[in-house]
Structures are given as C-alpha cells and as structure tokens.
Amino acid sequence: MTRAIRWVATAAGLRSLWLACGLVLALAPACGDSPSASAAALPDAGPEFTLESDDKLLQLQAYSAPFQPPTRGLSTVTLDITNAKTGAPQDGLVLDAVPWMPAHGHGTSVTTAVEAKAGGVYVVSRVNMFMGGKWDLRLGFSGAVTDRATLHFSIP
C-alpha cells in the first residue's frame, strides 16, 4: 500500500511540475514586468476552472496568467487535459482556441498561439480579452480526440 501511495504522489508531483514549467515558459517573454506581476501569475489556489468537454470525453483544468482570474488585455491560459474515462493525461490533441465576446458578437484581431507540452498540458498564449464584460474561450479539439469546450470569463 505504501508503494502505491508513493507512486500516486510521484505522478501527481510530476503533473504539477509540468504545469508549473508551462506557466514559467508562458511568462518568459514578460521578463521585463515587475516582480509582483510575475509572482501573481503562479496559481497557488488551484485551477480557475475544472470542467468536462461538451461530449464528456475530456476533463480540463484551466489556469490563467499573468492574473487569475484574468484582467483586460493579453493572457495565457494553461490547460491540464485528461481523458475523462481513464484519467490519463491526454496528449496528441490539436487545439484551436478562439476568444469570443458573446454579448457583442465579436472576437479579437489577435490570433492565439497553442503549444502542446508533455503530460496533457497545453499552453494557449495571446488570449486577448481587450474590453470588460463576459468573454468565452472557445476550444476545439481534434487529433487523438474530437470534442469542444468553452471557458467563461468575466473581465472587469
């Protein structure tokens, strides 16, 4: 029993390490920012969102940076994606991410960039929520699994 608990702790520790590495790499271009802004970017309170995809094939945990919850302007969203049936990290996805403001019926002129990391971690950068209000981040998944999900943000 002790060996199994140690393995679970190690697997969970590795997933946390990958998430932290993804956030650090996502923040690397912002090295000129003040230290307080960079320190505030690391999620110590856990994921901002935990949700299941539309077809219930994927489980997502989402973290935003440089602030959680995000504010106006450019943000990075790190997704920890697992297979909803097995709980295993879901690698091999092609991810399309589109910021959308439903009340106004528009998106943004800034195109998001997606980087797949190991262990089911995907980093979506250049998420531009440039004005206050309700925003969606519409996610489309293809590749190993085809599905969709939507994150809902309230930007002050």
Say if residue 52's pLDDT is above 60.
yes
pLDDT in tens, 78-88: 999 999 999 99
Closest CA to 113 of 74, 66, 82: 74
Residue whose tokens read 């106004």: 104
Say if residue 131's pLDDT is above 90.
yes
| pTM of the shown model | 0.71
- Write down the pLDDT at residue 44: 55
- Write down the pLDDT at residue 135: 96
Strand partners, 151: 137
Structure confidence at residue 49 as a pLDDT band (50, 70, 90): confident
- Write down the pLDDT at residue 112: 97
